[in-house]
Amino acid sequence: MDRPGAVARLRGALGAFAEQYLTPGGRWSVALSGGPDSLALTAVAARMRPTTALIVDHGLQPGSAQVAATARRQALELGCVDAQVIAVTVGTQGGPEAAARTARYAALAESGGCDPVLLGHTLDDQAETVLLGLGRGSGARSMAGMRPHDPPWCRPLLGVRRSVTAQACAELGVTPWLDPHNSDPRFTRVRLRAEVLPLLEDVLGGGVPEALARTARALRENTDLIDGLAEQALTGAGSGAGLAVAELAVLAGPVRRAVIRRWLLGGGGRGLTDLQIRAVDRLITAWRGQGGVAVGSDQPGQRLFAVRGDGLLQLRYEPV
């Protein structure tokens, strides 16, 4: 039997995703950059449900408004019931890639309303995410990659190679936009894509992106289990005054650190690292009267500290 065409494979992936995660019928939105991944996904989505294309114009490149206008026209020609261009202002926090991503997701969340938002991330994107997490030593949670379904975000193509979306565009007769940033070696992901992954494929004999995606899935299953246990433990250890050290001390290390992470995030912590979480953990497991542990904060001009006192872990803000 002949292998199904690229469009049919994408339709099958999206249909299986919708059956597993979404309620029948209804509408959805799709984040459209104009690139091959999102353009192919838009084409398939528009044939399955009423679809609104959300096109974010970051304004970071000359001609970005024209690129967005072209994507809007293509979305409507492909059958979308609506297509919106959303202009955003990109900040600087976390570097250009992170700042653009933050602005994009905020715009998509606001414009998507209550609808699921389809994202065109592929298996190749997942593999790159796992490598980034591994290289940064961010722990299992970072290496677990992107979730297929993290409402409102939907990633139905995480099992599909990037080459399939490019072939689907060829089958559909549509011309995708090729973002120059995707070949710019100043960006870490580009170097992973162009240098590191091909080298690993050569050294290990192929199949590396698929293996990395399987690793992400296995780690995600483990972290989901730990998160469930942590939620229960946080309820037992938490109080208005802080977290009871005695309740935390008896927990298994991975569960205790997951409790700490959730507690820090709930208290305004941001950009948490594995090193910071383990330092807070030592306030429980290796207490010698040490001072507080500073973590990233969501309050401008304020530093957030986790401190121990009177048998409790507590959070304290201090001016920078």
Is 183 annotated as ligand-binding? no
- What is the band of 301 on the pLDDT scale with cuts at 50, 70, 90? confident
Percent of the chain with pLDDT over 90: 72
| pLDDT the model gives residue 271 | 82
Residue 202 among known ligand-binding residues: no
For all residues of the chain together, what is the average pLDDT?
92
Predicted confidence (pLDDT) at residue 122 exceeds the cutoff of 70: yes
Segment among 75-79, 135-139, 159-163, 187-191 with least mean pLDDT: 135-139
Residues 296, 162: Cα–Cα separation, whole Å? 35
Q: Integer distance in angstroms from the first to the last C-alpha of the chain?
A: 66
What would the two tokens of residue 26 be?
A: 């209804």
- For CA atoms 126, 48, 17, 229, give the dihedral sign: positive
Q: What is the pTM (predicted TM-score) of this model?
A: 0.86
Is 24 flagged in the annotation as binding? no
Q: Give CA angle at 90 (87, 94), nearest 5°.
A: 155
Question: Is 59 labelled a binding residue?
Answer: no
User: Which pLDDT value is given to residue 3?
Assistant: 65
- At residue 237 the predicted structure's pLDDT band, cuts being 50, 70 and 90, is confident
**If 0-12 CB within 10 Å is exposed, 13-18 middle and 19+ buried, where does residue 69 land?**
middle
Domain residue ranges of the chain, discontinuous segments joined by +? 6-212, 240-319
Q: Is 238 exposed, middle or buried (0-12, 13-18, 19+ CB in 10 A)?
A: middle
User: What gap in Å lies between CA 146 and CA 158, rounded to an integer?
Assistant: 8
pLDDT band at 123, cuts 50/70/90? very high
Whether pLDDT at 1 is above 50: no
- 138 carries a ligand binding annotation: no
Q: How far apart are CA 161 and CA 12, in angstroms?
A: 14
The label of the residue with tokens 């926090």 reads 93
In this predicted structure, the answer to whether residue 236 has a pLDDT above a threshold of 70 is yes
Q: Does the annotation flag 35 for ligand binding?
A: yes
CATH number given to 6-212: 3.40.50.620
